[in-house]
């Protein structure tokens, strides 16, 4: 465990300014999501656009594509969250219907199968299924967050939990630590959103 924290310090010292800004705005975005604050989207957009640049620079094209998807969903979510059901009420937090749960599961399965097939057959990834698992979960989680569904937090919690050891295994300790922070915020976000639904 001591080596884990030492590796985080070393990784932090090697960060570029773009990565620092991307991480800070990524954390801010998750925090604002927890608070049901519209700033989740402008802060998130800054973070993902920087990650698009970083991933392109380091030739991480799949991650670059995922972050571009996050950008598109952030724009969509900004529009949805800004919409009003009447003059005084903005789009409320809601739970998935049974149909929406089924759609979420089908989307996850589709993303997972496509990613696993591509990574296992056309790349040298040594963790194609774990990588595909987290990617599929996060893609669905972002879609649910854009639609202001409480289930988005369940997706983030599961994906963050898997990502912590996955990134540590790959030697990306700072990113692993970032997902540990994301996990804590996601759990708090679920609790806070559930309370808001129950009190509405």
Any idea where the domains of the chain sit in the sequence? 2-82+97-199
Q: What are the C-alpha distances in Å from 85 to residues 81, 139, 180? A: 11, 27, 36
pLDDT for the residue 19: 84
pLDDT for the residue 76: 95
Q: How far is CA 147 from the centre of its chain?
A: 14
Structure tokens at 89: 């009420």
Tens-digit pLDDT profile for the chain (200 aa)?
778 888 778 877 877 888 889 889 999 999 999 999 999 999 999 999 998 888 788 776 777 888 899 999 999 999 999 887 666 667 889 999 999 999 999 999 999 999 899 988 988 888 889 989 998 999 999 999 999 999 999 999 999 999 999 888 877 787 788 889 999 999 999 999 999 999 87
Structure tokens at 149: 């569904």
Of 106, 115, 113, the C-alpha closest to 143 is 106
pLDDT for the residue 89: 62
pLDDT for the residue 85: 60
- The span from the CA of 113 to the CA of 132, in Å, is 8
What count of other Cβ atoms lies within 10 Å of the Cβ of residue 12?
14
pLDDT for the residue 86: 61
> Which is it for the CA torsion 45, 47, 51, 54, positive or negative?
positive
pLDDT for the residue 172: 76
Q: 176-184 contacts: CB < 8 A, separation 24 or more?
A: 176/4, 176/8, 177/8, 178/23, 178/26, 178/27, 181/27, 182/27, 182/30, 182/156, 183/157
């Amino acid at each position: 465990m001591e080596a884990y924290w030492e590796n985080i310090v070393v990784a932090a010292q090697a960060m570029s300014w773009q990565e620092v800004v991307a991480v800070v705005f990524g954390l801010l975005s998750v925090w604002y999501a927890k608070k049901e604050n519209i700033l989740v989207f402008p802060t998130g957009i800054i973070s993902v656009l920087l990650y698009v640049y970083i991933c392109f620079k380091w030739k991480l094209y799949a991650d670059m594509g995922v972050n571009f998807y996050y950008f598109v969903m952030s724009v969509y979510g900004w529009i949805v969250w800004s919409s009003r059901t009447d003059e005084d009420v903005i789009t409320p937090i809601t739970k998935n219907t049974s149909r929406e749960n089924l759609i979420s599961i089908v989307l996850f399965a589709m993303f997972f199968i496509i990613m696993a097939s591509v990574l296992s057959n056309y790349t040298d990834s040594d963790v194609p299924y774990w990588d595909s698992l987290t990617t599929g979960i996060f893609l669905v989680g972002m879609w649910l967050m854009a639609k202001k569904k409480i289930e988005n937090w369940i997706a983030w919690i599961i994906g963050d939990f898997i990502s912590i050891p996955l990134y540590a295994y790959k030697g990306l300790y700072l990113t692993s630590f970032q997902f540990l922070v994301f996990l804590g915020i996601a759990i708090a976000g679920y609790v806070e959103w559930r309370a808001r639904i129950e009190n509405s």
